Amino acid sequence: MTGERVGAGDLVEWLTDVGPAPKQVGALLVLGGSDIDVMDVERVLVERFGKLRRFGQRLEQSGRGRPRWVDAGAQSVAGQVSRLTCPAPGDQEALLAVATAALTRPLDRSGPLWRAEVVDGLAGGGVAVVLVLHHVLADGLGGLAVLSRLVDDSSEPVPAGGVVGAPGAPRGSGAPRPVVLPADASAVRVRRRVGAPRTSLNVPTGPRRVTVVVEADLATTKAAGRTRGATVNDVLLVVVAGAAGRLLRARGEDVDALVVSVAVATRAPDAAHGLGNHVGVMPVRVPLHGSAGDRLAAVTRQTRRHKGHARRTSTALVRPLFRLAVATGTYQRVIENQRLVNIFLTNMIGPTSPITFAGASVERLVPIVVGAGNVPTAFAALSYAGTLTVSVDVDPDAVPEVEALTAALNDELQEVLALAPPEPS
């Protein structure tokens, strides 16, 4: 059999796709304008994906070796692009439901491991594009690299943006899949120091998902962080943990802190625009008591101390453990009973200026993610053209209080943003 063997890190993602929800990452692009030609959007998607070799390939297994990437056939790319109409009333909630359904529907493993859905019928006009990639193709940073090849040439290039998990760490991103068992000594020390408290938020996840979105002004978020020497990622850590803490208190549980697992890029700078998986994790213990400013300062001190640890807790260190767990059928049981983290967070840096696709402006760019194991709440943040968008993946069977969680996230965000100094009059 000819073809390129799947990479070792990518093989982990392929073999561990055994849970009730598929290991897939996605993005929602909302295009503005009432005169958008839907057929032209479809044509451009087929044309541009057709220029990306990997997207015309499929994985083929032969014998006991690693699967290989082989050609999927002349019509394979066109077959991955489809159109649908958003259910009434065509608002944000309905569109997010469409995007979530696309992300949680398993891709056909006998063909290319991606899909693109063009969605019309939106309230107020416009068209949306939902992009879904299997995690074997790319982590979040790789997904941004794909986006940079799809947008119009006149658009600002999509940066190699990403997770700002530790100050000074390479900027990159990754889907929130960091339920890894650290294998080297330094990582074990991190795990022992930050072992996650037991809460009702850590229960096995099922196949159903709901996505909600909260937005904030990026400049204000940065200004709020600077008051405590913090990054945007530090702000997000405080906000997502604080929202989960409010939900727990409403359930009658009061814990001092929650452990948030932040995805951190480990790819070399010269590989920033490539596909594949190059992501590590950094567990951060986020305090839940005290003022927003005090909690932010505490998180900032911690992330600075953790600088460098995240690089060593890469999934590359635990590939043998992953493969053994899969081979013995214990992987799913392991991640459904892990006690290392309470929440997943991914933070990606997108274009600083508006981009266009098929001649239409991209008005919104929303990351869509799926949690795993026993973590039914996963947060993904993406900055784009001055707006910070935070999407939350929720298993509604484990966390039925979706509206309350959204409100708590908004409240926490506003509390932190209030730290920003007032703008000059």
Asked if the structure places residue 330 within a domain, the reply is yes
SS3 state of residue 28 = strand
Model pLDDT, residue 73? 86
Q: What is the DSSP letter of 239?
A: H
- Cα–Cα nearest to 349, from 311, 387, 320: 387
Residue 180, domain member (yes or no): no
Q: Please check whether residues 412 and 325 belong to one and the same domain.
A: yes
Residue 214: enclosing H or E segment and its boundaries?
strand 210-217
Residue 361 located in a structural domain: yes
Secondary structure (3-state) at 360: strand
Whether residue 312 is contained in a domain is answered as yes
Burial class (CB in 10 A: 0-12, 13-18, 19+), 423: exposed
Residue 24 lies in a domain: yes
Tell me how crowded residue 330 is: count the other CB atoms within 10 A of its CB. 11
- Six-digit token pair at 48? 């541009």
pLDDT of residue 18: 85
Q: What is the pTM of this model?
A: 0.86
Successive 10-residue mean pLDDT values, the chain, 425 residues: 78 84 94 90 96 92 84 90 97 97 95 96 93 86 81 65 36 30 28 72 94 97 97 97 98 96 64 56 92 97 74 47 69 86 92 93 94 93 96 97 97 97 80
Domain assignment of residue 243, given as a range: 185-417
314 and 394 share one domain:
yes
CB 15 within 8 A of CB 236: no
Q: What's the domain count of the chain? A: 2
Q: What is the spatial distance between Cα 70 and Cα 58, in angstroms, rounded to a whole number?
A: 6
CA distance 157 to 149: 9
Residue 260 and residue 284 in contact, taking contact as beta carbons nearer than 8 Å? yes
Residue 242 lies in a domain: yes
pLDDT at residue 31 in the model = 96
Q: Do 348 and 201 belong together in one domain? A: yes
From 54, 51, 76, select the one nearest 6 (Cα to Cα): 54
Predicted pLDDT at 75: 82
**Under 8 Å CB-to-CB from 320, ≥6 apart: which residues?**
none
Last residue of a domain, one of 126, 150, 174: 150
Whether 174 contacts 356, CB under 8 Å: no
Last residue of a domain, one of 104, 126, 150: 150
Closest CA to 167 of 80, 107, 230: 230
Statement to judge: residues 271 and 205 lie in one domain: yes
CATH classification at residue 263? 3.30.559.30
Residues 234 and 342 in one domain: yes
Strand ranges, E, within 121-160: 127-134
What is the structure's pLDDT at 263? 77
Verify that 142 and 201 share a domain, yes or no.
no
SS3 43: helix
Question: What is the C-alpha to C-alpha distance for residues 117 and 84, in angstroms, rounded to an integer?
Answer: 7
Looking at the structure, tell me whether residues 131 and 260 fall in a common domain: no
Q: Are 117 and 21 contained in the same domain?
A: yes
Task: Give the CATH number, domain containing residue 118.
Answer: 3.30.559.10
Contacts of 86 (CB under 8 A, 6+ apart): 94, 95, 98, 119, 120, 121, 122, 128
Q: Are 232 and 303 within one domain?
A: yes
Q: Is residue 36 part of a domain?
A: yes
Q: CA of 363: how far to CAs of 49, 64, 158, 353, 387, in Å?
A: 21, 47, 15, 11, 10
Q: Give strand pairing partners of 128.
A: 30, 119
Q: Which residues pair with 60 in a beta bridge?
A: 68
Q: Is the same domain home to 115 and 251?
A: no
User: Domain check: are 70 and 192 in the same one?
Assistant: no
Indicate the residue among 100, 128, 150 that finishes a domain: 150
The confidence score (pLDDT) of residue 366 equals 96
- Same domain for 146 and 205, yes or no, is no
Residue 161 within any structural domain of the chain: no
